[in-house]
Amino acid sequence: DQQVKQNSPSLSVQEGRISILNCDYTNSMFDYFLWYKKYPAEGPTFLISISSIKDKNEDGRFTVFLNKSAKHLSLHIVPSQPGDSAVYFCAASAYNNNDMRFGAGTRLTVKP
């Protein structure tokens, strides 16, 4: 069952513009959300997270927004850089649950 969904398999943006990656979830018990970034031939690496008590978390060029009522989160990258080109995975977990569910990933390409 796909409890975490990333409906856009790919996204292409121009360098300097904003990249917006979206993620939807179905399990209302999820209360912690993370974004991971994956380069080819490497494992995913943690990028940014947000707790359900917040609706926004910012770290440099990366901002994650959470809309609990819509069960939707998004990752904004501003400005986008060619080095941001990677696959981005959305993940979610629930307090006192011990697994983390991932979406299918979105491949971001930032063109110079």
Partner 1 sequence: DSGVTQTPKHLITATGQRVTLRCSPRSGDLSVYWYQQSLDQGLQFLIQYYNGEERAKGNILERFSAQQFPDLHSELNLSSLELGDSALYFCASSVDSGGPTGELFFGEGSRLTVL
- List residues binding partner 1 (CB under 8 A): 2, 4, 6, 9, 31-32, 34, 36, 41-46, 49, 51, 89, 91, 93-105
Q: Please, what is the minimum distance in Å from the beta carbon of residue 32 to partner 1?
A: 5
Cβ-contact 100, 92 below 8 angstroms: yes
For the chain, what's the residue count? 112
Of residues 19 and 36, the one with the C-beta less far from partner 1: 36
Q: Rounded to whole angstroms, how far apart are CA atoms 8 and 87?
A: 11
Q: Please, what is the minimum distance in Å from the beta carbon of residue 94 to partner 1?
A: 8
Q: Rounded to whole angstroms, how far apart are CA atoms 87 and 6?
A: 11
Of residues 18 and 58, the one with the C-beta less far from partner 1: 58
Tokens representing 62 are 């990366």
Q: Please, what is the minimum distance in Å from the beta carbon of residue 97 to partner 1?
A: 7
